[in-house]
Chain A
Amino acid sequence: MISPPLAGERSTIVSHPILELRHISKSFGMTAAMADVSIAILPGQVHAIVGENGAGKSTLIKILTGVHQPDEGEMLVDGKQMQIRSTEDAQKHGIAAIFQEPMVFPDLDVAENIFISHHNLGLVMNWATQYQHANEIIARLGITLDPRRLANGLTLAEQQTVEIARALSLNVRALIMDEPTASLSAHEVDRLVQIVEALKMRGVAVIYISHRLEEIFRIADTVTVMRDGKHISTKPISQVTQQGMVRDMVGRSINHFSMKVAANAHGEKILSVRNLTRDGVFSDVSFDLHIGEVLCFAGLIGSRRTDVGLALFGVEPATSGYIEVARQPVTIDSPQSALKYLIAYVSEDRRKFGLALNMPIFANISLPSLKKLLRLFGLIDRKAEIAMAESHRERLSIRTPNVTIDVGKLSGGNQQKVMLAKWLETEPRILIFDEPTRGIDIGAKTEVHNIIRELAIRGVAIIVISSDLPEVLMLADRVLVMREGRQMGIFDISEATQENIMALATGQTAAMSQ
């Protein structure tokens, strides 16, 4: 069932593609998500697909796995024309996917989450062996996760690893990964890369989508670029440069990637946290935050950075400790009280906590700042509301025909932008970003980084929780490293390096990390 890939086993000679799309088109109402796309996927290769947010990458995946049916075109599996009607169908053909938005079953434990959709495990459950198998897979992924734990309460990153485990355990011929590393940190990404390598050896075809271009260069054999639903280019990785790839993605050259700028001049102390503790979750977190400063929280997944954010926002209040905002001691026990002190928190999980997916874009953006729009008798000023949304749409280049469509219909990255807009609109004094650039393309990422810096310059105090170390190093004025609910240390940016942050985050001593 779950045979670990054998290192050294060579892939058989590649002859014909496992999967082939020919002239596939798909539109949702007015939006053409995919227009006449043809690609072929070869066994034993990693085929990367890149493109801006809304380029149609996820749509492509959903068509390959039968979640959506194409409007036009045909699909070939092993050279034979096939219709894939559902994910179940796809699995029967040996195709499995890790979707962009992790989807776990909160009431089932981790092991069941991994094995629930297996068709060939026999009629009767054997719980003990199931746990054992789950443990094996989890171990291969290099993470610690109790297979008996209910999926309810897993962090996004943990959910993502569960999904990866599920797909890996299926023993597939073609594995599709839609931004699998979006919420993983460097450590876990390394393991994933190793696993992908091993899969390649066994002749599995891997389709890999990511906005982290350095990852693409690490593992891809072939790169396909999509733009506006169209297929732009497919090239072997050896013929691709980062510049060229980006040009293909956006249709023009960009040179202004995020670059480290000099640290901001700090103003007054605005937030002071001492010995903040939530029993059993994290303890003794202490730091100061100044006006105009960007403080980054680094750590491995599950290091409880998010929980500190939640405590500061009052969603899961701390059980002890001391918080001072603008030199006044405060108690923060609900999001309302946090907002009262002008603290805002941008969640890492946009689908669960960030956005009301079945409501229009404008309603999502205006939600926490609705008060600004209220007129006589509490009536909402619709015009002002639309205008508010439009201005954000322009600034963040949210790709959508108009702001009245439901957020759920946007691509993942564009949803992320809507969520950012929603919190920027509250004009907070202290803004906590939890994985702010999760799943957004490099163009937009630069934009978000610029916005964060701009906010800082304008006097907002900012906390960024991020698993993306380059991002941390670029944004931060100071870096706070956490590990297993403990604050391991605070670096000034001048001392911080990838190495010393990782050393603290993984619990190695500084000496060992040389």
Chain B
Amino acid sequence: MSKFLRSWESLLILILGITTAVNISLAPEFLTLQNQVNLFQLSIEKIIIATIMTLIIINGEIDLSVASIMGLSACTFGTIIDVGMPASLAILLCLGLGIMLGAINAFWITIIGIPSLVVTLASLIGYRGFARVLLEDRGITGFPDWFIALGRDGLIGSLPLSFFAFALLVATLSIVLHRTGFGREVFTIGNSAEVAHYSGLRVARVKSILFILSGGISAMAGLFYAARLASVRGDAAFGFELDIITMVLLGGVSIFGGKGSMLGVVLSILIVLNLRNGMALMNITGHIQTAVIGILLIASVLIPNMLERLRSVST
């Protein structure tokens, strides 16, 4: 779109190139197929949600409750299996639950008119609480084999179903966002909800659709999580929201809405995954990993800003 965005993405490509080069030269195992599969597999649920989070943040909102919806849907799945109902039914119920949880968020945000940060902060706490209510101190295992296989085994090659779900989401959401009328509405509302309203756009409807989608996709991610780990517990997916938001912001999506691209987010996802994987292979602890990503996040905005300023001063 604008020049700045283009340069942001080229910056990301540069960072990605450097990270990959460093990883290849310093971590011999990096390029192995298994490692490349693991690299996605380990964070697959986060990156799936990052796709819809991109739309939500471009829309000028935020959804902090995604990880709690994931947790609650995973725990609901566990509970349903535990009482002996078939897994296929459980899957449907959980997806429905996710959509409902998203709709509850949407209700407070669009109908009552409370800022999404506040609403989803409360539902972050509340939904997680219901996961606790369901499972208390239990963990649930014993899911059907086909379900577990779905989460773990390769569907084509060694790539599991969840990977294709991610790819499909990236493709469709990126077309929706950048090529369709709905996407244009998302951008416009993010830019100025008032202008959008005055232009006859149905602001509440667009927002509701996004939050409901977010609920559904988070529930799906929760199911992938349950399948991959073959077990659920009350703390499933705890704290994932910050990682997801970090990826989206590093992708150049403006936290104030109205700006960003799916390409940027995909690049940023690749960077974060590569970086984490590379550091893990170099035996760097979790704290340092998080700190490095934090520094990268700040630096990726700070350095272009500084360069811009230097340029304007020197000319």
Q: Which residues of A contact B (CB under 8 A)?
A: 69, 71, 313, 315, 335-336, 338-339, 345, 347, 352-360, 363, 367-368, 370-371, 373-374, 377-380, 406, 422
Question: Of B179, B187, B191, which contacts A379 at CB under 8 A?
Answer: B179
Stretch at the interface among B11-19, B99-107, B117-125, B197-205: B197-205
In the complex, what distance in Å separates the CA atom of A380 from the CA atom of B195?
A: 20
Task: For B175, give the chain A residue with the smallest CB separation.
Answer: A379
Most buried by A among B182, B184, B312, B315: B184
Let me know if B194 and A379 touch, CB within 8 A.
Answer: no
CB neighbors of A among B136-185 (8 A): 175, 179-182, 184-185
CB neighbors of A among B193-245 (8 A): 194-202
Let me know if A360 and B1 touch, CB within 8 A.
Answer: yes
When distances are taken between beta carbons in the complex, the residues of chain B under 8 Å from A71 are 315
In the complex, what distance in Å separates the CA atom of A377 from the CA atom of B187?
A: 18
Let me know if A315 and B180 touch, CB within 8 A.
Answer: no
A69-B312, A368-B199, A406-B2 known; A358-B258 Cβ under 8 A: yes
Question: Of B182, B197, B200, B313, which contacts A378 at CB under 8 A?
Answer: B182
Let me know if A374 and B181 touch, CB within 8 A.
Answer: yes
In the complex, what distance in Å separates the CA atom of A360 from the CA atom of B259?
A: 12
In the complex, what distance in Å separates the CA atom of A363 from the CA atom of B184?
A: 8
A356-B191, A356-B258 known; A371-B202 Cβ under 8 A: no
Task: For A310, give the chain B residue with the smallest CB separation.
Answer: B198
When distances are taken between beta carbons in the complex, the residues of chain A under 8 Å from B199 are 335, 367-368, 422
What is the distance, in angstroms, from A18's C-beta to the closest C-beta of chain B? 27
A336-B200, A360-B1, A380-B179 known; A354-B184 Cβ under 8 A: no
What is the distance, in angstroms, from B177's C-beta to the closest C-beta of chain A? 12
What is the distance, in angstroms, from A84's C-beta to the closest C-beta of chain B? 15
Main secondary structure of the interface of B (DSSP, over half): helix
When distances are taken between beta carbons in the complex, the residues of chain B under 8 Å from A367 are 184, 188, 195-196, 199, 201
| Residue B192 at the chain A interface, CB threshold 8 Å | yes
What is the distance, in angstroms, from A134's C-beta to the closest C-beta of chain B? 28
Question: Of B175, B179, B192, which contacts A357 at CB under 8 A?
Answer: B192
Task: For B315, give the chain A residue with the smallest CB separation.
Answer: A71
Task: For B205, give the chain A residue with the smallest CB separation.
Answer: A336
When distances are taken between beta carbons in the complex, the residues of chain A under 8 Å from B179 are 379-380
What is the distance, in angstroms, from B213's C-beta to the closest C-beta of chain A? 15
What is the distance, in angstroms, from B217's C-beta to the closest C-beta of chain A? 20
Task: For B197, give the chain A residue with the smallest CB separation.
Answer: A335
Most buried by A among B194, B196, B198, B201: B198
In the complex, what distance in Å separates the CA atom of A422 from the CA atom of B199?
A: 9
A336-B202, A356-B192 known; A371-B181 Cβ under 8 A: yes
Let me know if B202 and A356 touch, CB within 8 A.
Answer: no
In the complex, what distance in Å separates the CA atom of A298 from the CA atom of B22?
A: 70
Can you list 10 A-B contacts (CB < 8 A)?
A352-B194, A353-B195, A356-B192, A358-B258, A358-B259, A359-B188, A360-B1, A367-B188, A368-B200, A370-B185
Let me know if A335 and B184 touch, CB within 8 A.
Answer: no
In the complex, what distance in Å separates the CA atom of A313 from the CA atom of B192?
A: 19
A69-B312, A335-B199, A339-B200 known; A363-B188 Cβ under 8 A: yes
When distances are taken between beta carbons in the complex, the residues of chain A under 8 Å from B175 are 379
Let me know if B198 and A347 touch, CB within 8 A.
Answer: yes
A71-B315, A367-B188 known; A356-B180 Cβ under 8 A: no
What is the distance, in angstroms, from A344's C-beta to the closest C-beta of chain B? 9
Known: A335-B197, A379-B180. 10 other contacts (CB 8 A): A69-B312, A69-B313, A356-B187, A356-B188, A356-B191, A359-B191, A367-B196, A371-B181, A379-B175, A380-B184
**Chain B count of residues within 8 A CB distance of the other chain:** 27
In the complex, what distance in Å separates the CA atom of A380 from the CA atom of B180?
A: 5
Question: Of A347, A357, A371, which contacts B191 at CB under 8 A?
Answer: A357
8 A-B pairs closest in CB distance: A356-B191, A378-B180, A339-B200, A353-B198, A335-B200, A368-B199, A367-B199, A370-B181
When distances are taken between beta carbons in the complex, the residues of chain B under 8 Å from A69 are 312-313
When distances are taken between beta carbons in the complex, the residues of chain A under 8 Å from B197 are 315, 335
What is the distance, in angstroms, from B179's C-beta to the closest C-beta of chain A? 5
When distances are taken between beta carbons in the complex, the residues of chain A under 8 Å from B202 are 336
In the complex, what distance in Å separates the CA atom of A510 from the CA atom of B40?
A: 80
What is the distance, in angstroms, from A413's C-beta to the closest C-beta of chain B? 19
A368-B200, A380-B179 known; A355-B195 Cβ under 8 A: yes
What is the distance, in angstroms, from A303's C-beta to the closest C-beta of chain B? 21
In the complex, what distance in Å separates the CA atom of A56 from the CA atom of B312?
A: 19
Let me know if A356 and B259 touch, CB within 8 A.
Answer: no
What is the distance, in angstroms, from A258's C-beta to the closest C-beta of chain B? 27
In the complex, what distance in Å separates the CA atom of A380 from the CA atom of B187?
A: 14
What is the distance, in angstroms, from A57's C-beta to the closest C-beta of chain B? 22
Task: For A374, give the chain B residue with the smallest CB separation.
Answer: B181
Task: For A315, give the chain B residue with the smallest CB separation.
Answer: B198
CB neighbors of A among B282-315 (8 A): 312-313, 315
Task: For A371, give the chain B residue with the smallest CB separation.
Answer: B181
What is the distance, in angstroms, from B62's C-beta to the closest C-beta of chain A? 19
In the complex, what distance in Å separates the CA atom of A371 from the CA atom of B180?
A: 10
What is the distance, in angstroms, from B76's C-beta to the closest C-beta of chain A? 33
Task: For A338, give the chain B residue with the smallest CB separation.
Answer: B200
Task: For B194, give the chain A residue with the smallest CB separation.
Answer: A353
What is the distance, in angstroms, from B189's C-beta to the closest C-beta of chain A? 9
A335-B200, A370-B184, A379-B179 known; A354-B2 Cβ under 8 A: no
When distances are taken between beta carbons in the complex, the residues of chain A under 8 Å from B198 are 313, 315, 335, 345, 347, 353-354
Let me know if B181 and A359 touch, CB within 8 A.
Answer: no
In the complex, what distance in Å separates the CA atom of A359 from the CA atom of B192?
A: 10
In the complex, what distance in Å separates the CA atom of A315 from the CA atom of B194?
A: 10
In the complex, what distance in Å separates the CA atom of A406 from the CA atom of B201?
A: 20
What is the distance, in angstroms, from A180's C-beta to the closest C-beta of chain B? 25
Task: For A314, give the chain B residue with the smallest CB separation.
Answer: B200
What is the distance, in angstroms, from B264's C-beta to the closest C-beta of chain A? 16
What is the distance, in angstroms, from A284's C-beta to the closest C-beta of chain B? 26
In the complex, what distance in Å separates the CA atom of A345 from the CA atom of B195?
A: 12
In the complex, what distance in Å separates the CA atom of A422 from the CA atom of B185?
A: 15
When distances are taken between beta carbons in the complex, the residues of chain A under 8 Å from B192 are 352, 356-357
In the complex, what distance in Å separates the CA atom of A345 from the CA atom of B184?
A: 21
Question: Of B191, B194, B312, which contacts A358 at CB under 8 A?
Answer: B191
When distances are taken between beta carbons in the complex, the residues of chain B under 8 Å from A358 are 191, 258-259
What is the distance, in angstroms, from A381's C-beta to the closest C-beta of chain B? 10
What is the distance, in angstroms, from B256's C-beta to the closest C-beta of chain A? 9
When distances are taken between beta carbons in the complex, the residues of chain B under 8 Å from A377 are 180
When distances are taken between beta carbons in the complex, the residues of chain B under 8 Å from A315 are 197-198
When distances are taken between beta carbons in the complex, the residues of chain A under 8 Å from B194 are 352-353
What is the distance, in angstroms, from A31's C-beta to the closest C-beta of chain B? 14
In the complex, what distance in Å separates the CA atom of A336 from the CA atom of B204?
A: 12
What is the distance, in angstroms, from B248's C-beta to the closest C-beta of chain A? 18
When distances are taken between beta carbons in the complex, the residues of chain B under 8 Å from A354 are 195, 198
Task: For A359, give the chain B residue with the smallest CB separation.
Answer: B191
In the complex, what distance in Å separates the CA atom of A354 from the CA atom of B196?
A: 9
When distances are taken between beta carbons in the complex, the residues of chain A under 8 Å from B313 are 69
A353-B194, A374-B181, A377-B180 known; A359-B187 Cβ under 8 A: yes
